[in-house]
Amino acid sequence: MPDALSTVFAALADPTRRAILASLAEGDRSVMELTAPFRVSQPAISRHLKVLERAGLISRTRRATARLSHLEAEPLREATEWLARYQAFWDARYDQLDALLASLQRPAPLDPDQPARG
């Protein structure tokens, strides 16, 4: 059984599911509203919603005859915290690269024992 973070990343691996989450960040949506921007069937979107729901990224409720999906952002925060460790790693690497590039751009000090060129 995969852990929660693995399930979240697996759900985020699909661009359609990421687009669905982006839409839900603007507010709750029905399956029909979520299907509209895509060239896929409503059952295909429903399958994507089930994956997102299993990952804890959305919850679904009934309002009258519509079934609405709602973004549950907590698992995204946990994924962001996990990724933040690697952001610090890359920031340190970029700082090292900046220092190297700066040292390469400085003119070399003149050696008083070398004859002047010219």
- Residues recorded for the chain: 118
Domain at 4-73: CATH code:
1.10.10.10
Q: Give the alpha-carbon dihedral of 67, 72, 76, 81, to 10 degrees.
A: -170
CA 61, 64, 65, 70 dihedral sign is negative
Given a cut of 90, whether residue 24 has pLDDT beyond it is yes
Query: Cα angle vertex 74, ends 81, 31, to 5°?
Result: 130
pLDDT in tens, 82-93: 998 888 888 888
Higher pLDDT, 116 or 29: 29
Report the C-alpha gap between 99 and 82 in whole angstroms.
Answer: 27
Q: Is 64 helix (H, G, I), strand (E, B) or coil?
A: coil
pLDDT tens sequence across 42-80: 999 999 999 999 999 999 998 888 889 999 999 999 999
Q: At residue 115, does pLDDT exceed 70?
A: no
Sign of CA dihedral 13, 15, 17, 21: positive
Q: How far apart are the first and last CA of the chain?
A: 73
pTM: 0.74
